[in-house]
Copies of this chain bind each other. A is one copy, B any other.
Amino acid sequence: MTKLNEMTATEAANKIATGEATAEQLVQACLDRISEREDDVQAWVYLDPDYALSQARTADEARNSGKGIGPLHGVPVGIKDIIDTADMPTENGSPIFAGRRTNHDARCVAALRAAGAIVMGKTVTTELANLCPNKTRNPHNLEHTPGGSSSGSGAGVADFHIPLALGTQTGGSVIRPASFNGIYGLKPTLGLIPRGGVLMQSHMLDTVGTYGRSLDDLALITDVISIYEPEDAQSYTGSRGSLRDMLAQEPPRTPRFAFLRTPAWDHAEPEAQKAIEDVAASLGDQCETMDLPEPFDQIIDLHLTVMGAEDLAYYGEYLEKQTELLSDVIKERLEHAKTIRGDAYVKALLARETIYESLVKLLGDYDAVLCLPSCGPAPKSLETTGSAIFNGLWTYLGVPCVSLPKLTINGMPLGVQLVGMRGDEGRLLRTARWLDNQL
């Protein structure tokens, strides 16, 4: 029998709901794994085992008293340390916020608790969810980066510390760690998951995402936290169908894929290029290799323009007033962003809709884009979190992306990325399930 901490969240939630396991047993199994591995992996910035167990006991008592339970009842979730929690510090990966506590949960955390989840602790983020690495290592090989900025969430799920975790993506911070750590990761449509109580870096880009051990896990946790947030102008206003319901359906036809090398292609390692081309080839007639039209040529720069100007708008005050508490990496990045002109930013936002429309037109007949999620497996370095060049373009367009842990290169995992249209993560997950079974 699979150990409790190695089960998918879906299995674990079922066992707790039916009484085959208790939340306390599950949390204890996770804590045992963490105490065994944390010195090496260093996925956590805040973890109080007694408090996690007390939450679990409360959950067990609630169930045993006959109280109705939510879909994540008793299931522990790791929370990236830029997401506010009322009962734990949120330090944003920076000494600027050392010891910072708020007295409220981020909206997504409140929704997790309302669904019965155990807030296990805070997972390591890079500095201000930006590029400078933190302490976490890749559980597949401790000399390799776990990716960033959701480093602890990716490594923690991969290393069986927790079945589920929250991350965020502004460049490639959900999908890249999913690829590097060999787990399932979803960066949904911009604004699908509310951002209230999450460190703001770039309001046109920042997207809360989810990690799990299966596509069902992604649907389970994402459904719980997919909530319209009227205070956020970027909150997704379209319909929000149940992803679990969509995943339960058979596709109405065999899915069709558009394989895109994307303008990032030349940055990919040859083995990674070959691996994804092999996936495309294995799909035969179900997959067509396509070129992106002209407006895509500038997309990588357009993403950097939006991100740079917004980063500087939100973080510029730290650069001015607390520069000694910033890493050289982020200082250079913010200094460089001073060269971004207002009209360039405006044009980058205007181009976003034009390019998205051209994508919709191009992909009208396909169920998903197939592409690389990263340039290759996790680099052998703890001085970098790897390149986000295969992610920024999709973050810029605000479209949902999922990474499936289906490839291996030199013993290190590499994901397969599927991308869908805005608001269509139900179809994206259903298509991913088909591919997951196929590969």
**A312 CB within 8 Å of chain B:** yes
Neighbouring B residues of A316 by C-beta, 8 Å = 343
**A439 CB within 8 Å of chain B:** no
A313 to B344, CA, bound (A): 7
Neighbouring B residues of A308 by C-beta, 8 Å = 342
Neighbouring B residues of A337 by C-beta, 8 Å = 342-343
Neighbouring B residues of A341 by C-beta, 8 Å = 309, 312, 338, 340-342
A316 to B340, CA, bound (A): 15
Tell me which of B311, B338, B342, B350 contacts A345 (CB under 8 A).
Answer: B342
**A425 CB within 8 Å of chain B:** no
Some 8 contacts from A to B, beta carbons below 8 A apart, are A311-B343, A312-B346, A313-B342, A313-B344, A337-B343, A340-B342, A341-B342, A342-B344
Top 8 nearest A-B pairs (CB, nearest first) are A309-B342, A312-B343, A313-B346, A342-B345, A340-B342, A313-B343, A313-B347, A309-B343
**A268 CB to closest chain B CB, in angstroms?**
29
Q: Interface size of A by Cβ–Cβ distance < 8 Å?
A: 19
Neighbouring B residues of A312 by C-beta, 8 Å = 341-343, 346
Please classify the interface of chain A as helix (H, G, I), strand (E, B), loop, or mixed, using the class held by over half of its residues.
helix
Neighbouring B residues of A313 by C-beta, 8 Å = 342-344, 346-347, 350
With a 10 A CB-CB cut-off, give which of A311, A342, A350 has the most chain B CB atoms: A342
**A310 CB within 8 Å of chain B:** yes
Neighbouring B residues of A311 by C-beta, 8 Å = 343
**A311 CB to closest chain B CB, in angstroms?**
8
**A237 CB to closest chain B CB, in angstroms?**
10
**A153 CB within 8 Å of chain B:** no
Nearest residue in B to A200 (C-beta to C-beta)?
A: B350
Known pairs A313-B347, A340-B342, A345-B345; list 18 more (Cβ under 8 Å). A305-B342, A308-B342, A309-B342, A309-B343, A309-B346, A310-B343, A311-B343, A312-B341, A312-B342, A312-B343, A313-B342, A313-B346, A316-B343, A337-B343, A341-B341, A341-B342, A342-B344, A342-B345
Neighbouring B residues of A344 by C-beta, 8 Å = 313, 342
Can you list, as one digit per residue, whether each of A322-334 has a CB less than 8 Å from chain B (1) or not (0)?
Answer: 0000000000000
Nearest residue in B to A334 (C-beta to C-beta)?
A: B343
**A212 CB to closest chain B CB, in angstroms?**
34
Neighbouring B residues of A338 by C-beta, 8 Å = 341, 343
Neighbouring B residues of A345 by C-beta, 8 Å = 309, 342, 345-346
- Near B by CB (< 8 A), chain A positions 128-186 give none
